[in-house]
Amino acid sequence: MSDQDRPQLTLITPPAFETDLFGEILARVMDDVPIACVRLAMATKDQDTIRRAADGLREISHARDVPLVIETHWKLVEPHGLDGVHLPDGPRQVRFLRKELGADPIIGAYCGSSRHDAMSAGEAGADYVAFGPVGQSALGDGSQADHDLFQWWSEIFEIPVIAEGALSAADITQITPVTDFFGIGEEIWTNDDPGAQLRAMIAAMG
């Protein structure tokens, strides 16, 4: 499969990290592999920590012409020069935030394995929907986003879709023909060589 035919990559940050140290790792990965988007997804609620991370990762991403979206914290988008927000709770805030943020910022919605939520997010103005987890995960209620879900979406809707969550090489091979993006995070950051692990996952696309 040619590079143009492959799904693009969204890199999802770890839930906790030291900005300077992780920034160096992120920069190396981005210099090694073409990345379409970076998602800042921290578990902390400490605003100073999130703001420092937003500023640090924005500089790294924008220096490489890659957009940075932040999970949940949409009020930081404009003051920190971010490119949009990723909503982990489906379509509930999409319409409101489209009015608040305007037409330009990216708004994406994670919809689990729910077709209804994904359709609602698209109708409300989401720029993309995300389904997951694709692999087996302890998160959520144990439901998985299977191949049929992605195939259904890709055949009916033009809004891009992201496959994410506990991705294995086998998952990637199976889902590649029916997704626009893969969201990859913990799958590589827990590896001693994240870049090499990411290249192996890309190779699984065929």
Residue 107: which domain range? 8-203
What confidence tens digit (pLDDT) does each residue in 153-172 have?
999 999 999 999 999 999 99
Alpha helices in the chain (DSSP H): 19-32, 47-62, 94-101, 115-124, 147-156, 169-175, 186-189, 194-203
CA dist 59 and 80 (Å) reads: 10
Residue 74 has pLDDT above 80, yes or no: yes
| Residue 1: inside a domain | no
Mean pLDDT, range 70-93, rounded to an integer: 98
| Residue 174: inside a domain | yes
Give the per-residue pLDDT at 139. 66
| Residue 188: inside a domain | yes
Q: How many domains does the chain have?
A: 1
Scan for tokens 């090694």, then name that residue.
Answer: 32
Residue 133 has pLDDT above 70, yes or no: yes
What confidence tens digit (pLDDT) does each residue in 7-55 have?
999 999 999 999 999 999 999 999 999 999 999 999 999 999 999 999 9
| Residue 168: inside a domain | yes
Cross-strand pairs, 108: 86, 128
| Residue 17: inside a domain | yes
| Residue 87: inside a domain | yes
| Residue 196: inside a domain | yes
Give the per-residue pLDDT at 24. 98
Q: Give the mean pLDDT of the chain.
A: 96
| Residue 3: inside a domain | no
Mean pLDDT, range 73-85, rounded to an integer: 98
CATH code for position 43: 3.20.20.70
Cross-strand pairs, 106: 84
